[in-house]
Each structure stands twice: as C-alpha cells, then as structure tokens.
Structure 1
C-alpha cells in the first residue's frame, strides 16, 4: 500500500495565518513514529514522494485560462481573498503535488485496495476559480486521469469534510461517470451551496449517533443510485470534530473513527478500492487534527489487510 507525502505540502504563510499548515509535517512524523514502534508494520506500506500533476492532468478538471492565471501569478486581489492564501510559486507547487498525490493514491488503491494522500481533499476549487484554501480540485483530477487512462469508468466521491464540496459538485454536474456524495454542516461555508448528486446537510450539534445514521443511509443511497463504481475517493475531513473551530457538527474522535469504519465497510461490502485524502481540519490543537487523520490512515491500513485475509 502506498501513502503519499512531501515536505512541499507545507506552505510558508504569514505569521498569524489561521490555516494550521503544521499539521502535514506533524502527521508525517506520527506515521514515522508508528513505523518505528511497530504500530504500523513497515512491510505493509511505502511512504512515497508524489509527482506534481501535469498541465494536461489539471486541464481535465480546470479551464486553460484559469490554469495559466494561477500558474503565472496573475490572480487578482479578489481571487486571493476568496482563496485565503497569498500567491507564491510554492503555493502552485504544493497544489500540483497534492493533486499528484491523489492521482497516485488512487492508482495504489486499484492495485492494493487502499491508498492515501496525507493532504488533498481540495474540494472548493472550481473549474475556473479558487476558493477556501483550494487551487486545484484533486479528487476530480484524479478521477478523470484514471478514466482517461481507461483504468476506471465510474468513480464515487464520498466527501466527509464538514464543508460541502461545492467545487466538486459544480465541476461534475454534467458528468454521469462521477457521483458526488457530500455529508456536511448545512449552516457552514460555503453559504451558497452547489447541488451534489447526493447532499446530506446536517444541523448544528448533530453529534455522533445522528451523523452515523445519516452516513449509513447516504452510503446505502449511493449503492442504489450509483451501483458498481470502480473506485471510491474518500475525503476524510477532521473538521466535523467537536473541537474544530470551523466545524459545527460536534463529532467526537470516537465518532470520527466510526465514520471511517462505516466507509471502509461499505467499500468491502461492494468490493471497492478506496483512496483517501485528508481534507479539512482546523482545531486550535494541531495534535487533535493529527490524531484524527492518523486514525483514518491506520484504520484504512488495518482494514485493507484484514479484507485481504478474508478473501
């Protein structure tokens, strides 16, 4: 199984910026520690440097004018405000690497059953604009790259970030080969929602039990409405957590682990490979974000090994 990470995921930001960029390096350190301690068997995974997504790959999801504008640093003040990051060459390299990591994690999933990008989940990026810390929509890029290479035909995107995947929904609106399921906080950003193939907008303070019931129902609906996908892309956001400053759903860490298990069991039930990305996580304590993301990765590794044994 392949897990993709790079130092280039960590973008230099101005002092006091609200985005917890440190979480990427901290998550890599936590996985390194697990490998050293034996919590993760070093024989089961490879940590790999992702390639940068190429222009040709990015253009499967984004407009050529937009790709030129962001690559050349010609974003307007309004563009920068909507994005939330200052423009820099490092920003573009980070975004290309993040998209490349999701592409490669998806390839790993097709071969091994599971793959992971320790960043990604940039679901607010539209075909022609950046939003909400997202430049390139890595999930749509990955889905379409694998489709173009005739490795898959139908892709299910399960978006567990606390914010609706508005960019993903908009890009794939007329694409019947990609099904988008977003389970999110209804009274949260983006305040004007797009229409996914399946949206579950949940109220504030939903909590574990109601969330898990909704997720279970939503996954069952995916199986009915989009049967036999070739691949699942799971955006395993840490921001539904009760301690997250940008979330409202009040899930506990145990609830988030149960969320991950539900998605993995769904994949096993229907024999589906799954690639995960980390998506959002904004807790004031970076340790909370890392613990949640690490649990998602660890559960995925263990689940996939057990799934192989059960075959």
Structure 2
C-alpha cells in the first residue's frame, strides 16, 4: 500500500498574499482522493519529530532559536516566512512525516510526504522557505538507527539543494545529487557530490536524456541502499520562479525514470514534494498528482 504523510497543518495559512502556496497541500489530497488514486487508508498523520533526531542534523543553538522564537529579523527574513509557534510545529510534523516514510518505504518499497523537500535548510540556519531539512534528519535517522551506509539523495527541484549539500559535505554515507537551473536561486551554490546545472528553457527531451544518463551512472557506481527523491514541480515552463521549459508530461516522465530505477533495483525510496509556483494552481496540483499516480502504477 502507498503510504502518504499528511497532516491538516500542512495547509496552515501564512500571511494573506504570501507567495508560498500552502493551500496546494490539502487541494492535492482532495484531488487524489476524488479521482480514486488514493483513499483515506493511504494517509497517515505524523506527530512532531523527536528533538534528538533534529539535533543529529541541526545545531543546538539553531534549534533553541526556533523553539524559543528568538530568530533575529535577518535570520527570519532569510527563511522568508513569518515566524510563529504554529509554523515551527508544522515543520516538526513535516519532518517526522519524512522520518516515518522511511519505515513505510522499507516495508512497501516507496512512501511519500505530501509536503517536505526543505532542502535549503542548513545545519545552523534556514533559507528559502525551509526551516528544518527533512531529508537531512531522515537520512541521519537511517544511518544512526538502521545502520545504513549508502544513501542517495536525488534532488530534482529547480533550485539547488544547497542546505542538503552543506549538511552532508563531509559524510561519506550520503551522496547528494542536485539537478537544477543554473541561473536560479540560490545564486551562491554549495557543492553537492554531483551538481548538474541546466540552462534556461531546457526542454523535455534534453532534461530527460541528462537525467537518464546520470541516474544509471549513480546507481551503478554508488549501489545505494536507500533513496530520497525531491520531486519539485518548479521545473515546469509555467513556473513563475523556475526558468526551465518542461511540460507536465515531461515532469511526469521524470518521475517515471526515478521510480522505475528504484523499483527495478529493489531500492526503497522516500519522496517529498518540494517546490511549485506556477501562476495557475491547477498546473501545480496536476504535476504533483502525477508523482503519486506514477508511484501507485509502478509499485502497486
């Protein structure tokens, strides 16, 4: 069964008119249930993450600032979200959702978090709508609690996974792969284990060809025991922030490449949704929904 982390707080409103589309999360769940891709039985409701797990990835000083709501104006502005106790609680629940997904992926082959993909969160600070790094915490959970030693993070959001790269820069147990827009946020890129920077307006055919090549090479060379997949849909041509040129069909084929490779290799995979900022919300929902449809079709 496809297990999906979802909590009503995922749709917690920010400020009116804020460009981060929190409302996409409940709408995505509604769409998937309406069309019959999933039912309520597929959903599970995570609780806040254990602080001990957070501290395997983030510094104690940063953690205390979040919990005590003492981030400076500059630190909060870098994250780009208005700080509140509810927002931090939401982040703790999302992070635990990804940790829980690792257990379900080990059982079923794949598990997904409706939210997450907070790859701009560093060890000691947040950036770009990201407060805690859910893949970072979950990967360290697998290392510390399950003795995994070959984890592959596949980050296909249009923005480089700079926080993830920083967190694991000296960790030989985690290989970070980021395929992103060259001329996009963050302007200062960290060094992932493998970075593929794409030109503006990259087409479906070019994108999928490059991805196919590197996915095959990575699975052959790393032989991962576990995969985390960030499936941002801000690679769409319609995205306000993306600058790439992919169609909804091309984005779907991207998901198929990743899931088929993980499935055929018998490697568990956890998926978080990442970004999506198309002007029309229906494009965001359709592209995200495809990720769930493809996973369901391939695994179940």
TM above 0.5, yes or no, is: yes
Query: Given the alignment of the two structures, is residue 144 of structure 1 paired with residue 140 of structure 2, yes or no?
Result: yes
Query: Given the alignment of the two structures, is residue 258 of structure 1 paired with residue 256 of structure 2, yes or no?
Result: no
The CA deviation at 1:151 is: 5.5
User: Equivalent residue for 1:284?
Assistant: 279
How many residues end up aligned between the 2 structures? 299
Query: Given the alignment of the two structures, is residue 177 of structure 1 paired with residue 178 of structure 2, yes or no?
Result: no
| Contact 1:156-1:231 within 8 A present in 2 as well | yes
User: Equivalent residue for 2:156?
Assistant: 160
The farther-off stretch of 180-189 and 211-220 is: 211-220
| Structure 2 residue matching 1:232: 3-state secondary structure | strand
| Structure 1 residue matching 2:196: 3-state secondary structure | strand
> 2: CA distance between counterparts of 1:153 and 1:34?
39
User: Equivalent residue for 2:236?
Assistant: 241
Query: Given the alignment of the two structures, is residue 27 of structure 1 paired with residue 28 of structure 2, yes or no?
Result: yes
The CA deviation at 1:120 is: 0.2
Please, which runs of 5 or more residues in structure 1 have no aligned partner?
306-311
The CA deviation at 1:269 is: 3.0
> 1: CA distance between counterparts of 2:281 and 2:32?
15
Which residue of 291, 297, 300 corresponds with 1:302? 297
| Contact 1:106-1:275 within 8 A present in 2 as well | yes
TM-score relative to the length of structure 2: 0.97
> 2: CA distance between counterparts of 1:282 and 1:52?
27
User: What is the CA deviation profile of residues 256-283 of structure 1, one whole-angstrom value per residue up to 9, with x for unaligned ones?
Assistant: 0100000012112322111111000111
The CA deviation at 1:152 is: 2.8
> 2: CA distance between counterparts of 1:205 and 1:292?
18
Where in structure 2 are the equivalents of 1:1-311 lying within 5 Å?
A: 1-35=2-36, 39-40=37-38, 42=39, 46-150=42-146, 152-227=148-223, 229-305=224-300
Q: Which runs of 4+ in 1 moved over 4 A?
A: none
User: What is the CA deviation profile of residues 91-138 of structure 1, one whole-angstrom value per residue up to 9, with x for unaligned ones?
Assistant: 101111111111111211111001000000000000000100000000
The farther-off stretch of 72-81 and 10-19 is: 10-19
| Contact 1:185-1:202 within 8 A present in 2 as well | yes
| Contact 1:5-1:101 within 8 A present in 2 as well | yes
| Structure 1 residue matching 2:35: 3-state secondary structure | helix
CA-based RMSD of the aligned residues comes to 1.3
> 1: CA distance between counterparts of 2:68 and 2:293?
39
The farther-off stretch of 135-144 and 6-15 is: 6-15
The CA deviation at 1:11 is: 2.6
1:136/1:278 Cα in 2 relative to 1: closer, same or farther (>3 Å)?
Answer: same
> 2: CA distance between counterparts of 1:182 and 1:217?
14
TM-score relative to the length of structure 1: 0.93
| Contact 1:22-1:286 within 8 A present in 2 as well | no
The CA deviation at 1:20 is: 1.0
Please, which runs of 5 or more residues in structure 2 have no aligned partner?
none
The CA deviation at 1:148 is: 1.2
| Contact 2:178-2:195 within 8 A present in 1 as well | yes
| Contact 1:207-1:250 within 8 A present in 2 as well | yes
